[in-house]
Structure 1
Amino acid sequence: MPETAQVLPDPRRWKALLFIAMAQLMVVLDATIVNIALPSAQADLGISDANRQWVITAYALAFGGLLLFGGRVADLWGRKRAFTVGLVGFAAASAIGGVAANEAMLLGARALQGAFGALLAPAALSLLAVTFTEARERARAFGVYGAIAGGGSAVGLILGGFLTEYLDWRWTFFVNIPFAAFAVAGALFVIREPAGTRNRSGLDIPGVVLATLGLVSLVYAFTRAESDGWTAGATIGLFAAAVVLLGAFVLVESRVRHPLLPLRVITDRARGGVYLALGLAIIAMFGLFLFLTYYLQVVKGYSPVRTGFAFLPMVAGMIIGSTQIGARLMTRVPAWWLMTPGFLVAAAGMLILTQMETGSSYAGLILPAQVLLGLGMGTAFMPAMSLATAGVEPRDAGVASAMVNTSQQVGGAIGTALLNTVAAGAATTWATTHAAELRTLGQAAFVNETAVHGYATAIWWAVGILLVSAAVVVALISTHKPGDAAATGEDGVDDAPPVPVLAH
């Protein structure tokens, strides 16, 4: 083949990374920032206990259900345009949530946040993928992005606790507005989308309908499983609908001329392995955030702010693992050499937490476990994010990025439902078999002992899930050949396309 002429990349791309990272942080932290504010919002707006879950579920359903659509819109419409519209819409929805006068207004705002987030998140990651194509620069850029993607949820807990305790729950919505304004300014004046990367094909309407309904059914099924049980009629019906709809989606995508999700994106062995490994790891992480938050606030009596700051060691570990370990080694070794040890180190951190007791010391147990979790996840997430979009045809960058977010969103829904169910079942069994200790311990202490036993049992499951994630990496990603579409070469350098000419 003739040698492709190279055009020097836009020197403003590192400034662009700042704005892309800010937008990603806003989306990720919003998944947890509202959790801490929920009790206050419920009391203020008179939301019933039965309906309070919808403050979380409305966001999750819209975000998870529309991600593939949002990713393909970014490919067709232009990633910079999709990024900007997503930011403006997310900010507007946040403003509506902040001034919500009743339950319906708040739930509508959360659904709108999810919808615009589904446009914004894949646009941000695909902008990164098509902007940074040189191996070492790509490693550094994805190191920053991976740290934010991994640590943003913990940052949301810190910020949510501070805003709720010292200001008002409404500020957990208003805080998104300056984030979005800053990122929009960057989109307008700094970010430049490379020319020739837009997908000019048509939009697959049947695929959009089937994917959206199928993903909404799947995410909602896990939500209902948590509240109603796995054998409830509604739960089984939703799972069945998800299987039928997503099966029909795959069939349609294999036959239409311009598919919403080209099957080449997910059938690549290495890239498919990344999506699966990431989804499994998120199952473990979301369960951990849930249990540690309850453990620190309910059992240990921490305030919301103190609980948020208690997660800082994990955030620090993720930043170090992503930017100092993953980014520095990504160009020297294959990605799976980082992902497998990363998941194993994170599993070791989880293993420490299985020894959790009501009287456990934060410094002696929680702190070292969080450091290992952060280092492991940061080291694994960074190459995973890069590998998921490396080698993808530029026209498919948006939908490939959407698949990263979809695997995380579905993993989060599974993690919350599955591990919470495991914890509840283990707690019930323990309370039944240790009923005689109620008189000795007292009601409050017995309740705490029961809860902690449930948490520890569920964390054992999380350890197993992380080990499976590491095994997936070894089985699917380590076996790639140099030149595979989604893999890095044996020397660790991405097989990325040449840097394209930049649009003016």
Structure 2
Amino acid sequence: MHATTDTLATTPAAQGGRSRWLALYTLCAGMLMIVLDVTVVNVALPSMQDDLGFTNSGLAWVVNGYMIPFGGLLLLAGRLGDLIGRRTVFLSGLTLFTAASILCGVAGSQEILVAARFIQGAGGALTSAVILGMIVTLFPEPREQAKAIGIYAFVASAGGSIGLLAGGVLTQAINWHWIFFVNLPIGLVTGLLALRLIEKDKGLGLGRGTDIPGALLITAALMVGVFTIVKPAAELGWTAGRTVALGLLTLTLLAGFIVREATAANPLVPLRIFKSRTLTGANLVQALSASGMFGIFFLGSLYLERVLGYSALEIGLAFLPTTVIMGLLSVRYSEKLITRFGPRKPLITGLALITVGLALFTQAPVGGEYVVHVLPVLALLGLGAGMCFPALMGLAMADVKPEDAGLASGVAGTSGQVGAALGLAVLATLAATRTTNLQSSGKPAVEALIDGYHLSFGIAAAIMALAVGIALTVMRPAKRDAEQETADIVLEAA
């Protein structure tokens, strides 16, 4: 107990009020830079393809090359934060990410760009995995914590749509290389502020173990799984021998990871943390909602570009309402909603709004109008995300002990990134397969394209509906907790 108290005393929680909020904004700046690079490349992909000669399937690896190490290393990065100090891991990741961004910017070949994106993803994992755990430590008081998590949730979720705008501006005004070069000044300033504003924490010590085999197993499983979806499944079909064999390999690696975690003396992910229904449900919902939302950012951008003929800048501006609405709700009203109604009601309502928005997108026609067919969808996505994501992130950390905060933060981040990577791979592959089949049967190219997008939009809506079901069932509080939640609401109203 004494050791734990000493550890916590050296964490950022010891800082004063004003510096805590400045530290929060610094952490969010780092998170924004990481999240931007998930989507900032979307609108620049055609330019990269023209310059470097990517095939359509190879182009997907500019995105997946970043997301796979990101999702695969978040668990290890979060645990390293607990063991060696979260500020140390944050700054190490920021340095690696910024250096890799320069390499991406100067890349003159497909191989260098994808390799640099892989390094970028590793740096992004180290940087982002510990942020939520640091915020929970910085703001232990429930009301302040809800507000701080709301700000973080806005950055983490709205960063995707901000990335589309930033990518469009930089690509159209200069060239695609600058979507990476811009990270250099941001990374330097964020690192200097972090050194000044965030106190160094010493962690629990490496003697507690880092579980490298577990990290290798889960990273390999993710890489093989996404490769299976974007390569043999897309080119040979879902029932082809190579697809099935690689799918079985993915499942074997996942099973090996679970066995390893159940038997290791110091596992990467102690399975005991999943005894909490709230934490387990929150991570399931996180994975499903990320797969639906991120897939739509990608495919929605393609719909605007290839069907409606939007430029890179116009695509970024088109998604701006989502960012504005999400930011207004997350920063200004999420804390009030969570305090007034508890986290479950805003979560369920927000997920339902996203589901309706995605279902509505299936009606977007070939000659669609932005105000009629796109803006209502993006408004619903912004409303839903602004309501549900702050509540979801708070629930993901609700039952976590202080010494496991980095681990839980990494698990939550991993759930989102794995869901986003797999969601993108599956939705993009299904859309492309549907389009190819229709074109081969004689359907006009644009009509075949829109049918492929409609299929993926419908599947994304079904995924979100499943997330609603999990929030209603798995995350249902115990009777005593529900009675306490009701009593708290009554007292708050009084």
Match of 2:466 in 1: 468
Change (3 A) 1:215 1:426: closer
Aligned length in residues = 478
SS in structure 1 of the partner of residue 399 of structure 2? coil
Flag the structure with higher helix content. 2
How much does 1:65 deviate?
1.9
Question: Quick one: which amino acid aligns to residue 10 of structure 1?
Answer: G
Match of 1:135 in 2: 142
Further displaced range: 4-13 or 353-362: 4-13
Matched, 1:410 2:410: no
C-alpha contact (below 8 Å) 1:226/1:418 kept by paired residues: no
Match of 1:270 in 2: 278
C-alpha contact (below 8 Å) 1:275/1:407 kept by paired residues: yes
Q: Which runs of 5+ in 2 are unaligned?
A: 490-494
Distance 2:57 2:247 in 1: 22
C-alpha contact (below 8 Å) 2:360/2:377 kept by paired residues: yes
Match of 1:338 in 2: 346
Distance 2:29 2:80 in 1: 21
Match of 1:454 in 2: 452
Q: TM-score, normalised on structure 1?
A: 0.88
Q: TM-score, normalised on structure 2?
A: 0.90
Match of 2:400 in 1: 392
Change (3 A) 1:233 1:58: farther
How much does 1:8 deviate?
6.8
Question: Quick one: which amino acid aligns to residue 83 of structure 2?
Answer: L
C-alpha contact (below 8 Å) 1:69/1:212 kept by paired residues: no
How much does 1:328 deviate?
1.4
Change (3 A) 1:432 1:94: closer
Matched, 1:112 2:110: no
Deviations 1:428-450 (A, max 9, x none): 566678x5xx6xxxxxxx32222
How much does 1:132 deviate?
1.6
The 5 Å alignment of 1:363-374 reads 363-374=371-382
Match of 1:82 in 2: 89
Matched, 1:15 2:13: no
C-alpha contact (below 8 Å) 2:84/2:204 kept by paired residues: no
C-alpha contact (below 8 Å) 1:197/1:394 kept by paired residues: no
Say which of 24, 32, 40 aligns to 1:33.
40
Deviations 1:208-240 (A, max 9, x none): 332222233233333333454322333323321
Change (3 A) 1:212 1:421: closer
C-alpha contact (below 8 Å) 1:423/1:457 kept by paired residues: yes
Distance 1:427 1:38 in 2: 19
Deviations 1:7-39 (A, max 9, x none): 975321100111111111111110111222233
Match of 2:253 in 1: 245
C-alpha contact (below 8 Å) 2:354/2:385 kept by paired residues: yes
Deviations 1:273-319 (A, max 9, x none): 01111111112112211221111111111110011100011111211
Say which of 376, 389, 409 aligns to 1:401.
409
Change (3 A) 1:192 1:275: same
SS in structure 1 of the partner of residue 474 of structure 2? helix
Further displaced range: 382-391 or 447-456: 447-456
Matched, 1:101 2:99: no
Distance 2:335 2:200 in 1: 23
The 5 Å alignment of 1:8-407 reads 10-11=16-17, 12-49=19-56, 51-192=58-199, 201-224=208-231, 225-407=233-415
How much does 1:378 deviate?
1.7
Match of 1:441 in 2: none
Match of 2:492 in 1: none
Identity among equivalent pairs (%): 37
Further displaced range: 120-129 or 214-223: 214-223
Deviations 1:445-478 (A, max 9, x none): x322222222223222222221111110010112
Q: Which runs of 5+ in 1 are unaligned?
A: 439-445, 494-504
C-alpha contact (below 8 Å) 2:84/2:203 kept by paired residues: no
Distance 2:472 2:357 in 1: 20
Question: Quick one: which amino acid aligns to residue 445 of structure 2?
Answer: V
C-alpha contact (below 8 Å) 2:23/2:197 kept by paired residues: yes
SS in structure 1 of the partner of residue 77 of structure 2? helix
SS in structure 2 of the partner of residue 390 of structure 1? coil
- What RMSD over aligned residues (CA atoms) do the two structures have, in Å? 2.7
C-alpha contact (below 8 Å) 1:423/1:454 kept by paired residues: yes
